[in-house]
Structure 1
Amino acid sequence: MEMTRLTGTALGGCVLLHLLVFAAPVAAQLDTATGIVSDAQGAVIPGATVTAVNKNSGFVRATATDAEGRYRLAALTPGRYELTAELQGFSRALRDGLTFALGSETVLNFSLQVGALSEAVTVTAETPIVQTTTAAVEMRLDRAAIDVLPIIGRSYLSLLRMAPGAQSSNGTSFVGSRGRSNQWNIDGVDNSEDISGYSRQSLALDSVQEVQVLVTGFKAEYGQASGGVVNVVTRSGTNDLRGSGFFLFRDQSMMARSPYADRSLPADPFQRIHYGGWLGGPIKQNKLHYFLNYEREDRDTSSSSTRTLPAATAFSPATLQFLQQNNIPLSLFGGGGSTRQVRPEFIDVHNVTAKIDTQLSNTQSLTGRYQLTNDTQPSGQSGTLLDFNGNTEYFKTNYANLNHKWVMSSNKLNELYVQVGQSFGDWKPGYPGLTNLSVTGGFDLGGSSTYPQGRTDWIYQLVDNYTWTMSGTRTGEHSVKAGAQVKLFKSDSFFDSNFRGTYTFPSLNAFIAGTPSRLTQNQGNSALARPNQVYGLYLQDDWRPSSSLTINAGLRYDYEGAKTEALKDVTGTAGPGVSRDRNNLSPRFGFSWAPGAAPPRRSTAAQVFITIRSS
């Protein structure tokens, strides 16, 4: 009930902020085209119309140049574009072959020639590769690059290793930070797991349109992370009906064995079947499009271990005496050798993506996406002498998000993002009633004592971006962005550690005799309920005092509520928690200077804070 009141209050506050056109900090998932329109003599042209047409979806965006001849087309979805500039009395100028990357700002200037409007001057050119309007160190990969890169396992997360300063041990980290300190975003909404800090949703490779990794120098709109920022945009349908599918089969006969493997023994069982496909197209040309993707991986595999068995003659006299006293015949041990244990394992993963894009008008668009993942796989083995594990991990995620973009005028843009999601995890023991056995100084029998356990997480997020662009002959161009965000979390979990009990034997003799020294077993209710709230505010200014210099300055504030236990124990006392975190003020500063044809010089300075993880 406390969570219900909290949700209503916070969401109501965010709606009020949106109605007041107060912006929110969410990852920059959109692209911007900006520049100056001038005549053949270099004089700026006010009032010219600049139009961007998405060659894939047919969506159209248009704006007019200001008194200084500047235009700015924000909130462009990544993809292929055609830009035109026109004004009565001048020939139309057209630039084709443009590809806008995720979160980029591309400078494209137009020079109009005197002539009839029906005449057109077409320039076909690639989008500039080097971005000169940001101080961030980053990597971008579009769909064309993803299609040609070799990716083992069909996971886009493998691509992150190509980023500058990336390290792949224990997850992916950047420039020496921890992997759990990154910020993950999909389609503009948060995708960071609250406990581990890693990516929450699992996207199929065919669902990814573009990946951007901000390594250092990111702006004030990004917060609650001290590592890198990973932004992902999912694919959308186009005016053309398109799709593809794949099927992969592999078993042990197609795999090379280790040169150290015993050739007298059969190869460990292995079979992998991986298949899927996607389909995208128009529901209404130039207005409404859909995209669907399904992928499944079914893997039957195994893990094995080999243990050496000594011959009877290899036992020490004391051991032989012990065996004889307990009437254990030496013939059971044979002539020595080894024993090999093969454990069957399986992985079954289903991944579904469904997305709808619609252009409500020339100034408004709406996008919705639903993501489902079912993942079943074996848990880590216990490493005991005789492993009765068979433990299974089961994960399920359901996420839905909406994005509304509204171009309020030629220099004002508002973006609203809403996300609702649930993650479910269940760790089950292979033999729920099996008690563990432990022999002091000897060996253990049984599986892991940490199972069963489980967790269900909910996330509610509302964010809203507002951008206002101003320009003048003396001050240059300012692109001011302000924002706020609300993220509400709730995590319900249980952890029945050693609820099945463990018998401890002081010696091997006691184990043979069946006389344990003690039994340890936990009892009670291990359920936990942990709600949490995260709020953020930021203000940033991207100032271009000249065509070769861009200054990025901003300030961010983050507040994280107290991490407390909602459920009380039998005495009515709540468990210990973490106090609220409210002193996270983060200034950001950076510049990019591109003198002439020389590569841009970049420098940044920032103070960042990370979200307190639940474990």
Structure 2
Amino acid sequence: MTDRFYSVIYTLSGFAIAPMLVLAQSPVILTGVVEDESGAAVAGAKIALVQQISSQTEETTSGETGSFRFEDLSPGNYLLKAEASGFDPYEEVLTIRSQETKPFTIKLKVGSVKAQVTVTLDDEDEVSTSESNTSSMRISNDLLGALPTDAEDVVPLLDRFIFPGARSAEGTAILVDGVEVAEMDMPSAAISRIRINRNPYSAAYQSPGTGRVEVSTKRGHRSHYEGSLAIYARNSLFDARNAFAKSTPDSDRRLVQAKFGGPLPGRRSSFNVAAERLMNNESAVVNALTLSGPFTMNVPTHERRYRTFTRVQWWPTELHTLYATYDFKDKSRENDKLGGFNLPEQGIRTSEFGHRATLRDTVLFSRNVRNELFFTFQKEEQRSGSPATAPAILVKEAFTGGPSQSFGREKKETFDLADTLTRARGRHSFVFGGRFR
């Protein structure tokens, strides 16, 4: 009797305790909203809930209204974390009980602005007013390759962007990597970008107020090698007939361009080499009226052009840059000055040969003080025609015969040494320096 009584008591106790255990272990749902200090919802906030005993982590993201939801949570202590772009991180310890948890509000504070300024030296940032000049334009290498140039010769095309009133008697001023040169004679593959300054009034240059073309050459990468090869060809096979010639003038143009660059040993220096070769075999149409009657002939003209450009750059420190460039050119043309009324004996040979080496040292003493040292050496030789052995015969609007009277030879060697110190203060820059050549 006694055993049966206790058995009934235990059974009834089990039925009474079981609902309590089930209730104690039932999952809890935590909901809430993420807001800023003004009460506006913060969407896209990353929210994490960490169980302090087991370190189990649940993660979610706030919705468009800032709301979030965690399900199947066990009662206990948790660490609630929240992060959002532009706000300080949020952390708070909360206790989740077995009863239904009220919606929780996370208030995020606007993050404090922390700026880190790193001063480095950009060797392509020449002393130039074109960046802030409203009358300037910039041509990238991609745009340069798409321009309709003749055999990749960009100088005649660039002159069209200069106002006629901004040209001096010596022509447009040209600067290559900040160094003023007489002409830009280099492979187009070596050019990184071109700035055309059509209204430059700067005392830092030789001719203030003169239209200026500022060229920046490519430098090699410090982390990887890069190269390219391009071949351009043109033939008269598909040319239209020339109305002044008995047959289509022959034309065969081939242009080969190559470039290669990359890091040098040590990873603190790099190089870039560009070269091109042009073989242009065309014909000049002579259509004249001589003493023997009409004279029409296609006279072959041959043009050859070889150009190379090399740039080696070294960074002793992040604030110190040293680089050297060397470019070479060799150009010639046979039967130049022919066509129209000029008879074949008027043809002459022209040639141009030259070297140029440049050394540039740039040091950034502080964020506002920079010193630049330039040294350039150039050697050129130009020839045109040969001494005439007889007089020329000129009949206006009919023909020009006899040997050409055009003859000239020129050799020159020049050097240029310049040093400038630039001090920036607010919106103004003060430039001091000297030049010897």
Shorter-chain TM-score bucket reads 0.5 to 0.7
Shift of 1:301: 1.2
Which residue in 2 is equivalent to 1:481?
A: 431
Q: 1:136 to 1:440 in 2, by over 3 A?
A: closer
CA–CA separation in structure 2 for the residues paired with 1:104 and 1:307: 51
Alignment of 1:247-266 (within 5 A): 247-258=231-242, 260=243, 265-266=246-247
Q: 1:225 to 1:428 in 2, by over 3 A?
A: farther
Selected match of 1:234 from 211, 217, 240: 217
Selected match of 1:462 from 417, 424, 427: 417
Shift of 1:297: 0.6
Q: Relative contact order (C-alpha < 8 Å, sep 6+): which is higher?
A: 1
Shift of 1:440: 8.8
Which residue in 2 is equivalent to 1:346?
A: 302
CA–CA separation in structure 2 for the residues paired with 1:275 and 1:216: 36
Which residue in 2 is equivalent to 1:491?
A: none
Q: Which has the larger radius of gyration?
A: 2
Shift of 1:140: 1.3
Which residue in 1 is equivalent to 2:228?
A: 244
* SS of residue in 1 equivalent to 2:198: strand
* SS of residue in 2 equivalent to 1:467: strand
Asked whether the 8 Å contact 2:285–2:340 carries over to 1, the reply is: no
CA–CA separation in structure 2 for the residues paired with 1:221 and 1:370: 25
Alignment of 1:384-399 (within 5 A): 386-399=343-356
Shift of 1:437: 5.2
CA–CA separation in structure 1 for the residues paired with 2:211 and 2:204: 13
CA–CA separation in structure 2 for the residues paired with 1:178 and 1:403: 27
Alignment of 1:335-374 (within 5 A): 338-374=294-330
CA-atom RMSD in angstroms: 3.4
CA–CA separation in structure 2 for the residues paired with 1:178 and 1:254: 42
Alignment of 1:110-121 (within 5 A): none
CA–CA separation in structure 1 for the residues paired with 2:394 and 2:154: 46
Letter in 1 for 2:349: T
Give the number of equivalent residue pairs: 327
Shift of 1:150: 4.5
CA–CA separation in structure 2 for the residues paired with 1:145 and 1:268: 32
Which residue in 1 is equivalent to 2:31?
A: none
Shift of 1:357: 0.7
Shift of 1:419: 0.3
Q: 1:225 to 1:217 in 2, by over 3 A?
A: closer
**Is 1:292 paired with 2:273?**
yes
Shift of 1:44: 9.8
Asked whether the 8 Å contact 2:126–2:177 carries over to 1, the reply is: no
Letter in 2 for 1:249: A
Which residue in 2 is equivalent to 1:76?
A: 122
Q: 1:275 to 1:181 in 2, by over 3 A?
A: closer
TM-score when normalising by structure 2: 0.66
Letter in 1 for 2:249: D
CA–CA separation in structure 1 for the residues paired with 2:392 and 2:429: 67
- CA offsets, 1:16-68, max 9 Å, x none? xxxxxxxxxxxxxxxxxxxxxxxx999998xx75226xxxxxxxx2xxxxxxx
Asked whether the 8 Å contact 1:135–1:218 carries over to 2, the reply is: no
Which residue in 2 is equivalent to 1:50?
A: 117
**Is 1:182 paired with 2:179?**
no
Asked whether the 8 Å contact 1:178–1:227 carries over to 2, the reply is: yes
Q: 1:104 to 1:443 in 2, by over 3 A?
A: closer
* SS of residue in 2 equivalent to 1:360: strand
Letter in 2 for 1:483: G
Which residue in 2 is equivalent to 1:270?
A: 251
- For structure 1, the residue ranges without an aligned partner over 5 or more in a row are 1-39, 53-60, 62-74, 79-100, 106-129, 167-172, 193-198, 311-332, 471-475, 488-615
CA–CA separation in structure 2 for the residues paired with 1:271 and 1:413: 50
Selected match of 1:141 from 130, 139, 142: 139
Shift of 1:446: 0.9
Letter in 2 for 1:276: Q
The share of aligned pairs that are identical, in percent, is 18
Q: 1:44 to 1:416 in 2, by over 3 A?
A: farther
Shift of 1:412: 1.7
TM-score when normalising by structure 1: 0.48
Asked whether the 8 Å contact 1:221–1:483 carries over to 2, the reply is: no
Letter in 1 for 2:332: T
Selected match of 2:260 from 279, 287, 292: 279
Q: 1:423 to 1:283 in 2, by over 3 A?
A: same
